[in-house]
Amino acid sequence: MHFRYKIEGGDFTNAGSTASAVKKVLKQLNIDPVIIKRTVVGIYEAEVNIVAHAYNGVIDVDIDENRIFARFEDAGPGIPDITKAMEEGYSTASEIVREMGFGAGMGLSNIKNNSDKLEIISQVGKGTTVEITNYFNSK
Amino acid sequence: MNLKDISEAIQGDILYTSKDLMKDYSYAFASDLMSDVLTVKQSNMLLITGLINVQAIRTAEMSDIRCIIFVRNKKVSEGMIALAQETGISLIHSSFTMFKTCGLLFTAGLKPVY
Ligand SMILES: Nc1ncnc2c1ncn2[C@@H]1O[C@H](COP(=O)(O)OP(=O)(O)O)[C@@H](O)[C@H]1O
Ligand SMILES: [Mg+2]
């Protein structure tokens, strides 16, 4: 199964619609609720990061019987120091982002805690790609 | 505690009830920071927040939180109620501060998640 969602920077009204759609699909597939929660929490934070930090992006979600793979590819400023960005508390978020209940620098570390595999590739001035993989039969 | 007991304990108004009016809640978590809420693993908890926007509802949806209490007498928008209906999340309005709302519910027996 493959789904594609488009997402606009600054569009906080729709932030979370991808995570919501994915949640519905995983529920229908009878995936373990603990794994569903881990997965959609990660997807939601990654989605919010595009809205909060980038200009626009595309989210590709691929589901097979063993795992869910989500790729978040955005056009945006990129992340100069990924190690630093992963640190809890590091944030460049604007006041607007904080008013939305985010921007405390906890997103990336929480995505890591809620994923089996996380990869981040970024090019300053171009954009960022985040890839999350979660397995359905967690060993 | 079920939704009705919770609402009575804080003299709140129930803005929307999903199916589970009689469902029992044991735990509560209070925060205005959604990133914080999203780190909590506990299920069967309710969220107490002063963050009044659709992201509070989305956060509850992703976290399997079935009920949100909005504190500090804030106006909850139609859009928020519509999203709560769509996602099956009950909403309670409290005119008290976060501190008072938490204190009353703690006294009434709701437990912290840690
Ligand atoms: N998609 C992105 N594009 C550009 N910068 C990003 C992106 N995602 C994260 N960042 C950078 O990494 C920092 C930390 O991200 P995160 O842990 O999610 O915290 P927050 O979003 O609350 O600031 C952000 O403040 C931002 O500087
Ligand atoms: Mg973030």
ipTM of the complex: 0.95
* Token duo for residue A130: 């985040």
Q: How far is B97 from chain A (nearest CA, A)?
A: 18
Beta strands in chain A (DSSP E): 2-8, 56-63, 67-75, 117-123, 127-135
Which ligand is located closest to the Cα atom of residue A106? 1
Q: Give pTM, 2 decimals.
A: 0.96
Name the CATH topology of A2-135.
Answer: Heat Shock Protein 90 (3.30.565)
**Count of CB atoms situated within 10 Å of the CB of A64:** 10
Over residues B77-107, the pLDDT tens digits come to 999 999 999 999 999 999 999 999 999 999 9
Question: Which CATH number is associated with domain B3-112?
Answer: 3.40.1390.20
Is the model's pLDDT at A139 over the cut of 70? no
Q: A106: closest CA among B107, B59, B19, B20?
A: B59
Residues of B in contact with A110 (CB under 8 A): 35, 38-39
- A residues 14-43 lying closer than 8 A (beta carbon) to B: 15-16, 19-20, 23, 33, 37, 40-41
Give residue B33 CA to ligand 1 midpoint distance, Å: 16
* Token duo for residue A61: 């979600």
Helix (H, G, I), strand (E, B) or coil at B18: coil
* Res. B26 pLDDT band, cuts 50 70 90: very high
